[in-house]
Amino acid sequence: MTIDSSLKVGSNEMELVDFRIFKQENDEVYEGIYGVNVSKVREIIKLPKLTELPGTPKFIEGIFDLRNIVIPVVNLAKWMGIEEPVGIAKNSRVVITEFNNVLIGFIVHEAKRIRRINWSDIEPASFMRDSASVEGSKITGVTKIEGDNVLLILDLESVVQDLGLYEPDTQNVPNQIESFSGMALVLDDSSTARKIVKEALIKMGFNVLEAIDGEEGLTKLDELYELYGKDLAKNLKIIISDVEMPRMDGFHFAANVKEDGRFSNIPIVFNSSISDHFSELRGVEAGGEAYLVKFQASLFYNEVARVVRAHMK
C-alpha cells in the first residue's frame, strides 16, 4: 500500500494514517486508535521476515531489506509496554516512515484508513505528556472521531530519538557564524525544538520570540505591529516555523502571513521533521523562502543567513 497526499497548501488540514494497537487485559481486548501524518509515511506492507539484532532492546524486532535499503523495525506495542493479544502478530502491518531523513518501520496490528482532519480540531496533548506512562508521554495531539472515540497522534520523532536512532545535529556548527541584529519569531509546538532553534538564533545575534502554533504566531505578529507599525519588517528579520502544529499548521500560518500586507515582506523559513520532496514544494507554494529538515546545524545557519541577507538588500 503506497501513500499519496492531495492536500492543498493553506487548507489547514492534515491527512493521517489511522492504525490500531490492541491491548490484552485479563480476558478483555481493547483497541487503541492512533494516527501518524501521511507526509511521514512511505508505504504500508505486510510484516516481512526480520533479521534479529543481538543486544538491542526487545521492542526493536530486527531489520529487513526494502529494495536495497536496510530498515530497522520497532514494535510499537512492546515499546509502549502493551500486552499484545495472542495470535495478533500474524495480521500485523509495518508502517514504513521517513522523517528527519531517517527510514524506520513501525509494527502496528491493523492499518485502517486515511483520515483528513482539520488542524483546528486537533488539541495539544499537554495533559497526556504530564502522564507518567510511556504512551502518554509520546502523544503529540488528540482528536475526536466517530462513535465518540478519540484518535491519538503519535510523536514518532520522540520515539526514534529515545531509541537512539536519530539525534539532531547540533554540533556541526560553522566556524564563523554571521551576526545579525533584530528579532526572530519561532513557531513550534515542541518545547525541545523551540529550544534548539532559539539557541541557534541567539548565536546569530537575534532576539527570539516564541509561539506554540500558527494561531499564537499570528497573535504575536499583531502585537508586534502595534509596537512597530510599518517599521515591523525592519525589526522582525525572520520567522522560523514548524509545519505540524495543532490548531493551525505552518503552511496555513504562512498563507495568512503572505496575504496580510502588514507582514508579507517578512521572510519565512520552514523547519520540519517531514523530509519528503512534496512537503518542500508545498513550503515554497505557501510562501516560504526555504524548507529545512530538523535539525542540521550547518545548513540551518547558512540558510537563515542567506534568507536574511537577501531581505536586507
Query: What kind of architecture, by CATH, is found in domain 183-312?
Result: 3-Layer(aba) Sandwich (3.40)
* Domain residue ranges of the chain, discontinuous segments joined by +: 13-162, 183-312
Which of 150, 137, 178 lies closest to 16 in space, CA to CA? 150
Distance CA(238)–CA(270), nearest Å, equals 11
Q: Are 106 and 156 in contact (CB under 8 A)?
A: yes
pLDDT recorded at residue 134: 47
Q: Which CATH superfamily is domain 13-162 in?
A: CheA-289, Domain 4 (2.40.50.180)
pLDDT in tens, the chain (313 residues): 655 555 666 678 889 999 999 999 888 999 999 999 999 999 999 999 999 988 888 889 999 999 999 999 999 998 888 889 988 877 899 999 998 888 999 999 999 999 999 999 998 876 554 444 445 457 888 999 998 899 999 887 777 777 777 777 777 788 889 999 999 999 998 888 899 999 999 999 999 999 999 999 999 999 999 999 999 999 999 999 999 998 899 999 999 999 999 999 999 999 999 988 888 899 999 999 999 999 889 999 999 999 999 998 7
pLDDT recorded at residue 264: 95
pLDDT recorded at residue 132: 45
pLDDT recorded at residue 191: 84
pLDDT recorded at residue 160: 76
Which of 7, 9, 82 lies closest to 250 in space, CA to CA? 9
**pTM listed for this prediction:** 0.84
